[in-house]
Amino acid sequence: MFEKRKVRAHTNIALIKYWGKADEEYIIPLNSSLSLTLNDLYAETSVLFDPALDQDTFYLDGEKQNGSSLKKVQHVLDLVRQQADIEVKARVDSQNFVPTAAGLASSASGMAALAASASLAAGLDLDKKDLSRLARRGSGSASRSIYGGLVQWQKGSNDADSYAIPIDPADWGLGMYFILINKEQKKVSSRSGMKQTVETSPYIEEWARTTDEDVEKMKEAIAQRDFTQMGLLMERSASKMHATTLGAIEPFTYLLPESLHAIQFVQALRQKGFDCYFTMDAGPNVKVLIKEEQKAAIGQLLQEEFGPDKILYSDVGPDIQDITNEL
Ligand code: PMV
């Protein structure tokens, strides 16, 4: 009576960051954000609601999960069960397609794939807007992984109006390099880092106010395909986000010395005439936005500086996909 369903969702990297919640339970953000979905980093998740199960089980890359990892999955399953009006337990199998040792396991692709596969498996036929709202409850950034290309998460003010919308397919030659600084699990999760910043950093209000303006400026730059302006706005957003954590009590930072080195290297490349810009999330890795026509030249310089095994590349990724036929 229940069918097993499988979905692929691609991760996304924010050009204008989401940082801080207005509502923790519903994950309503303090500010709107805007991201690029990536092709080479994704998750595939299958879900089966099975009346024979007496508890939910969650396998990640073949390993059975417990504790907080299982709890996060159950939270989304519970929301799906509520909407479908069922009580059946589920088995969830998820695989992360992120090159090994990258330290980039992403909640965005994982939670988006889970929201979509679980809702299909429960017999719900959600449209993309409602999928984005559901994914948001698993992890804020997951709301954006429903769509490919450039995507805006409109902050809204409640569960009904806080969701992502596609802005531009970005099929005009954008790409992103990853400089892998450190593959260890981050010490401060985005969840607790945001909370600490919102509760204690004096910079948070200006962050939220100016970031909503930055989203509008970014949309203008995208509409004009003004890559330089997009890159500069992206760097400022990342720098501003990381500045808020230094104002928190206690102050903390996601930057390692090697992150700073990578940032300076990217900026030095610009002095040499390359059009490339950095961003960073709640961890030490540095991401570099480029145009595909400079992919080879920039890639070579990054590999020489950081080592070939520390450099990853992805071009622009698509919408979430139902891949039940691949089961
Ligand atoms: O939704 P989360 O908990 O994965 O938070 C994402 C926060 C950042 O990656 C730092 C910024 C963003 O907009 O993705």
What mean pLDDT is predicted for residues 30-45? 97
- Whether 190 maps to a domain, the answer reads yes
Burial class (CB in 10 A: 0-12, 13-18, 19+), 210: middle
- Whether 269 maps to a domain, the answer reads yes
Q: Do both 159 and 231 map to the same domain?
A: no
Confirm or reject: Cβ of 46 under 6 Å from ligand 1: no
Distance CA 234, CA 313 (A): 18
pLDDT at residue 251, rounded to an integer:
97
Per-residue pLDDT at 106 exceeds 90: no
Q: Do both 121 and 249 map to the same domain?
A: no
Q: Do both 108 and 200 map to the same domain?
A: no
pLDDT at residue 130, rounded to an integer:
98
Per-residue pLDDT at 15 exceeds 80: yes
pLDDT band for 103, please (50, 70, 90 cuts). Answer: low
Q: Do both 12 and 43 map to the same domain?
A: yes
Other CB atoms within 10 Å distance of the CB of residue 103: 17
Q: Do both 15 and 163 map to the same domain?
A: yes
Which tens digits make up the pLDDT trace of 190-234?
A: 999 999 999 999 999 999 999 999 999 999 999 999 999 999 999
Atom 10, ligand 1: residue with shortest CA distance: 281
The structural domain count of the chain equals 2
163 in Cβ contact with 147 (< 8 Å):
no
CATH no. for residue 126?
3.30.230.10
Confirm or reject: Cβ of 140 under 6 Å from ligand 1: yes
pLDDT at residue 98, rounded to an integer:
81
pLDDT at residue 102, rounded to an integer:
56
Atom 6, ligand 1: residue with shortest CA distance: 141
Q: Do both 18 and 152 map to the same domain?
A: yes
Q: Do both 79 and 108 map to the same domain?
A: yes
- Whether 161 maps to a domain, the answer reads yes
Per-residue pLDDT at 184 exceeds 80: no
281 Cα: distance to centroid of ligand 1 (angstroms): 7
What mean pLDDT is predicted for residues 168-176? 98
- Whether 320 maps to a domain, the answer reads no
Structural domain span for residue 160: 5-171
pLDDT at residue 182, rounded to an integer:
75
Among 237, 256, 253, 257, which Cα is nearest to 245's? 253
Specify the pTM.
0.96
pLDDT at residue 99, rounded to an integer:
65
Q: Do both 23 and 164 map to the same domain?
A: yes
pLDDT band for 277, please (50, 70, 90 cuts). Answer: very high
Q: Which of 106, 190, 192, 195 to mutate to test the pocket of ligand 1 (most atoms within 8 A of CB)?
A: 190
Q: Do both 30 and 79 map to the same domain?
A: yes
More confident residue, 140 or 106: 140
The whole-chain average pLDDT of the chain stands at 95
Q: Do both 129 and 241 map to the same domain?
A: no
Per-residue pLDDT at 105 exceeds 80: no
Final residue before a domain boundary, out of 171, 190, 216: 171
Burial class (CB in 10 A: 0-12, 13-18, 19+), 327: exposed
264 Cα: distance to centroid of ligand 1 (angstroms): 23
Final residue before a domain boundary, out of 128, 143, 171: 171
Per-residue pLDDT at 295 exceeds 90: yes
Give residue 93's region: left, alpha or beta (phi > 0; psi -120 to 50). Answer: beta
pLDDT band for 289, please (50, 70, 90 cuts). Answer: very high
What mean pLDDT is predicted for residues 55-62? 96
pLDDT at residue 185, rounded to an integer:
61
Distance CA 304, CA 45 (A): 36
- Whether 325 maps to a domain, the answer reads no
Per-residue pLDDT at 263 exceeds 90: yes
pLDDT band for 107, please (50, 70, 90 cuts). Answer: confident
What mean pLDDT is predicted for residues 154-180? 97
Q: Do both 228 and 268 map to the same domain?
A: yes
Confirm or reject: Cβ of 279 under 6 Å from ligand 1: no
The number of the ligand 1 atom at minimal distance from the alpha carbon of 139 is 1
- Whether 321 maps to a domain, the answer reads no
Q: Do both 23 and 158 map to the same domain?
A: yes
247 Cα: distance to centroid of ligand 1 (angstroms): 19
What mean pLDDT is predicted for residues 91-107? 78
Q: What is the ipTM of this complex?
A: 0.99
CATH no. for residue 294?
3.30.70.890
- Whether 217 maps to a domain, the answer reads yes
Confirm or reject: Cβ of 107 under 6 Å from ligand 1: yes
Final residue before a domain boundary, out of 153, 171, 189: 171
- Whether 209 maps to a domain, the answer reads yes
Q: Minimum mean pLDDT among 64-78, 91-105, 163-177, 300-314: which range? A: 91-105
Report how far apart, in Å, the C-alpha atoms of 234 and of each of 17, 132, 181, 257 are. Answer: 8, 23, 20, 21
pLDDT band for 104, please (50, 70, 90 cuts). Answer: confident
